[in-house]
Amino acid sequence: MTETRTSLKALYKKNEQETLKDFFKFLRFESISSEEEYKEPVLACAKWLKNYISNIGFKTELWETAGHPIIFASNLSAGPDKPILLIYNHYDVQPVDPLELWESPPFEPTIKNGEIVARGAQDNKGQCFYVLQALKLLLERDGTLPVNIKLCIEGEEETGSEALSKILPTKKTDLAADYLAIVDLGIPKMEKPALTLGVRGIVTFDLTVQGSNTDLHSGQHGGVTYNPIHALVEILAKLRDKDGAITIPEFYDDVLPLKPEERSQITLDFDLQDYKTTFGATPSGGEKKYNPNERAWTRPTLEINGISGGYTGKGFKTVIPAKASAKLSCRLVPAQDPYKIAQLVCNHIRSLAPDGIDIEIAIRPGVGSAVRSDVNSKIIQAFSKAYKDVFQIETGYIFQGGSIPIIQELAEASGASVALLGLGLPGDKIHAPNEHFGIERIEKGSLIIARALELLSG
Amino acid sequence: MTETRTSLKALYKKNEQETLKDFFKFLRFESISSEEEYKEPVLACAKWLKNYISNIGFKTELWETAGHPIIFASNLSAGPDKPILLIYNHYDVQPVDPLELWESPPFEPTIKNGEIVARGAQDNKGQCFYVLQALKLLLERDGTLPVNIKLCIEGEEETGSEALSKILPTKKTDLAADYLAIVDLGIPKMEKPALTLGVRGIVTFDLTVQGSNTDLHSGQHGGVTYNPIHALVEILAKLRDKDGAITIPEFYDDVLPLKPEERSQITLDFDLQDYKTTFGATPSGGEKKYNPNERAWTRPTLEINGISGGYTGKGFKTVIPAKASAKLSCRLVPAQDPYKIAQLVCNHIRSLAPDGIDIEIAIRPGVGSAVRSDVNSKIIQAFSKAYKDVFQIETGYIFQGGSIPIIQELAEASGASVALLGLGLPGDKIHAPNEHFGIERIEKGSLIIARALELLSG
């Protein structure tokens, strides 16, 4: 066992410069899925990746969709006696604004203190790339894989996986698998490797409030018309009480308290000083009566992810705008039905409209339930041991606050039992300027994936 | 008298096509004072206007400033026995966003139903231009003017008149005058000509709230960090109570109730149906216990003129931003000291910062007191009669809710008694898309100004 690991590690080291060169090519594609004008670089990225995976030794397909294409690849060389592992990643990335806060161009990967700085360096190109390196190393050394592997790499994770969600019912045979690994998550720190047993669900909203039919002058109309920005801030402020609890009726009704066995599996300890140092702020948001990890992992939220209205450029404009808008998201926990919650949110916000203000609220695509894995499943146990073998530290279990709406649907379509894993770190600045991912983690990730494949084969 | 008016009217009609052609040239300059990238068109506009005024028969100067230049012009041909009237206008305009809501390009004047549609068509290029036409007509017909005229036309009214304010102390001799006409106001409707006896003061603010030192992912950090957009909406929502009153301590302390004689001069009647038809909304903002005209003319306000934070583009970004911002303005009434109010606002907003949130609030340039004119002054009586003569309807008196911060300073520097006037209408969409001004009003304005000059001469 040790010999094998050493050998793969040596092989990784031999290939490392070429690997990084290829990874940089992958990062240079401006594969921003949310913005129409990036349709071409998203497609170019998908084609490049498909070709890269073919060259490793996989049969590959590009599934065309109404949105961005999905890469499906398979190598079933392990044979029918071995299980099938479906691995999920995504090649699309978040937008890069505010661009001026990037210390190096977001699509020109730059190495700084052993970290690769680029949009997508971690989320999810980095995590996708070490999966591919694991497969490449094994195929290079052995000409075959310990288990049968299917890859599903989509291009719309950052916008809600609409295309994949739609195509799933027609691709059940392709995707059929025993195990499903979602490699888009993280660990608390390098000294604390951990698997994720649960992620939150999500539902997002576009909210617009409208007052008059045109922008108005705040001199003539100040104190007269109902300023829609005031209406918006008043409505949004009413959604949480002074203790940080969400005030929408029935919002918490289906939330289950953490079971004792769940609580015993995870560490709720929260390193306050570390958080302050990393993020420059105290974790003072959300429900005051829960500790920060409980809030992030086990409690639903309602966050305002964007707000706009009136004049926000340089200087000043004494305007009362006709409209003001916000983008909202709710993170959900097991047993909360996202569509039920969405209706509660919409109805409550509509009920808060003051006289003279019209409200439009729409549920966006990308709705997904919360997911919990069974700690005793074979796939969790295999990855747990793989992390331990590579890190040489006991593997812990955590929940994570993020959401991957497609997981539940993918688990159902493939019939597989799920593991949620990855090597993200809290300080990676995913979705923010200067996103980064450690070179060391590409190596560790490759070795963990390879090791888990061997363990699943046994 | 009737003969003179007819004659000037005939002369106006003769010149009308050329006048409109010149006016359109004036409107085509993109003289947006608030945005650095428009520095050149602002300067080009000033130079064109200076030249235009020279050609009418004025001695002109361009006063250079740290910002945009000021046009100063004089024609003292009436001689030392006649009074001096200083007329104030501005050639700068508001930004044009949201551009997509303009039905014709904002800097390509278009005539629609007798109205000229363009940015600045009314505020203040249109009102400036009829002043110039009055002077042009009189000089063309008589070779001289009934009273001595000085013109002060600035290029920073929309951003707070910082340059003019700074230069005033050094230009007292140039600006010395008996009367000061601020031609930047309006009338309730064409059937209700009125002079403005008062405008509100103003003070504006830039507010930024900061949580963490970087944008965060709302999955990992939702319910953990204090989302600065939440902090911002909570703070802003607390600034007004459920009855629309401003909650800042001492904010109303210096507000004087309307005096009985002031109340008798003005009409507080408010045409609710007309407002609804024009603006598509009920006037449901501000302090519920006052009628809309009382609120607009006699009560101070606090309005949010802009708000921004997080992701506001197409699609969605599950971000918790590091910062969120708002632009605020207070309109003030007589006896309220703008600097005192500014301090109250800043202190109160700072006191509302929740744990984990930093607040920066700055008072912007362009602070100004409220102004009230004396209805019995010679200048008010002259303009009152001029309006009546041209409209053939009795002139009323109103207050207006807008602010021209520079008025009080200009009155002090010139030593003049002030009249506030103009031919704006509530539906002109100033500061908004599709701003417009009636061709008829350019004619009426020219005749009113000319008539007032004759009356002041007597």
Q: How many CB pairs (< 8 A) connect A and B? A: 367
Q: Which residues of A touch B211 (CB under 8 A)?
A: 281, 285
Query: What is the distance between the alpha carbons of residues A164 and A149, in angstroms, rounded to a whole number?
Result: 19
CA distance A64 to A232: 40
Is B307 in Cβ contact with A308 (below 8 Å)? yes
DSSP H helices in A238-353: 260-265, 272-279, 292-298, 338-351
Distance CA B193, CA A220 (A): 17
| Helix, strand or coil, per DSSP, at residue A214 | coil
Residue at B46 is within a domain = yes
β-partners of residue A362 are A206
Bridge partners (DSSP) listed for residue B153 = B71, B89
**What does the pLDDT read at residue B220?**
83
Same domain flag for A313 and A399: no
Give the distance between the most distant pair of CA atoms in chain B: 80
Same domain, A376 and A353: no
Average pLDDT of chain B to the nearest whole number: 94
Q: Using the beta-carbon criterion (under 8 Å), do B431 and A216 form an inter-chain contact?
A: yes
> Residue B236 maps to which CATH number?
3.30.70.360
**Nearest chain B residue to A316, by CA:** B159
pTM: 0.77
Question: Based on the domain organization, do A12 and A23 belong to the same domain?
Answer: yes
* Residue finishing a domain among B346, B363, B380: B363
Residue A24 lies in a domain: yes
What's the Cα-to-Cα distance from B230 to each of A239, B235, B327, rounded to whole Å?
10, 8, 16
Predicted interface score ipTM higher than 0.90: no
pLDDT of residue A358: 97
Low-confidence ranges of chain A (pLDDT < 70): 1-6, 265-268
A107 and A84 assigned to the same domain = yes
Asked if the Cβ–Cβ distance from A225 to B320 is below 8 Å, we say: no
Using CA atoms, how far apart are residues B180 and B168, in angstroms rounded to an integer? 14
| B163 & B206 share domain | no
pLDDT computed for residue B266 by the predictor: 65
The answer to whether residue B240 scores a pLDDT higher than 60 is yes
**Tens-digit pLDDT profile for residues B140-183:** 999 999 999 999 999 999 988 999 999 999 999 999 999 999 99
Among B222, B240, B283, the residue with its CB nearest the CB of A224 is B283
Q: Which of B37, B42, B218, B336 to mutate to test the interface with A (most CBs of A within 10 A)?
A: B218
Q: Are residues B190 and B212 in the same domain?
A: no
The single residue listed with the structure tokens 């170019």 is A44
In this structure, is residue A283 part of a structural domain?
no
Query: CB–CB of B415/A232 below 8 Å?
Result: no
* Residues A255-301 pLDDT 10s: 988 778 777 766 667 888 999 999 998 999 999 999 898 898 889 99
* Residues in chain B closer than 8 A to A366 (CB atoms): 316
Question: Under a CB-based contact definition with an 8 Å cutoff, are residues A351 and A332 in contact?
Answer: no
Sign of CA dihedral A276, A278, A281, A282: negative
Residue B243, helix vs strand vs coil: coil
Q: Residue A453 belongs to what H/E stretch?
A: helix A439-457
Q: What is the DSSP letter of B226?
A: -
Domain limits at B66? 2-199+370-457
| A306, A324, A354 member nearest B311 (Cβ) | A306
Q: How far apart are CA A17 and CA A9, in angstroms?
A: 14
Of A35, A240, A311, the CB nearest to B315: A35
Are residues A144 and A240 both part of a single domain?
no
Residue B4 has pLDDT above 50, yes or no: no
Q: Within this chain, do residues B419 and B355 fall inside the same structural domain, yes or no?
A: no
Q: Do B36 and A305 count as a contact with CB atoms less than 8 A apart?
A: no
Say which CATH number the domain at A144 has.
3.40.630.10
Q: Search chain B and give the residue with CA nearest A37.
A: B314
Can you tell me the mean pLDDT for B20-26? 98
- Give the rounded distance of the alpha carbon of B318 from its chain centre: 40
Q: In Å, how far are A193, A255, A257, A314, A381 from A261, measured between CA atoms? A: 20, 17, 12, 55, 17
For range B77-84, the mean pLDDT = 97
Q: What is the pLDDT of residue A452?
A: 98
Compute φ and ψ for B157, nearest 5 degrees: -60, -40
Beta bridge partners of A217: A319
Q: What is the DSSP letter of B169?
A: G
Counted domains in chain A: 2
Strand order in the sheet with A201-210: A358-363, A201-210, A323-332, A301-310, B301-310, B323-332, B201-210, B358-363
pLDDT of residue B405: 81
| A270 and A401 Cβ atoms separated by less than 8 Å | no
Residue A284 lies in a domain: no
Of B237, B296, B354, the CB nearest to A284: B354
Contact criterion met (CB < 8 Å) for A317 and B305: yes
Residue at B150 is within a domain? yes
- In sequence order, what are the beta bridge partners of A201? A332
pLDDT digits over B102-126, tens only?
Answer: 999 999 999 999 999 999 999 999 9
Tell me whether residues A233 and B304 touch, CB distance under 8 A: yes
HEC-encoded secondary structure of B151-191: EEEECCHHHCCHHHHHHHHHCHHHHCCCEEEEECCECCECC
User: CB–CB of B222 and A95 under 8 A?
Assistant: no
Measure the CA–CA gap between B394 and B384, rounded to whole angstroms: 8
What's residue B259's pLDDT? Answer: 76
Q: What is the pLDDT of residue B1?
A: 46
| Cis preceding linkage at B105, omega within 30 | no
The residue among B295, B302, B324 whose CA lies nearest residue B237 is B302
A187 assigned to some structural domain? yes
Query: A238, B238: Cβ pair inside 8 Å?
Result: no
Helical H runs in A352-438? Answer: 378-391, 406-414
CA-nearest of B267, B202, B301, B259 to B398 is: B267
Whether A329 and A403 share a structural domain: no
- Contact assignment for A216 to B309 by CB distance below 8 Å: no
Instruction: Say if residues B192 and B384 touch (Cβ distance below 8 Å).
Output: no
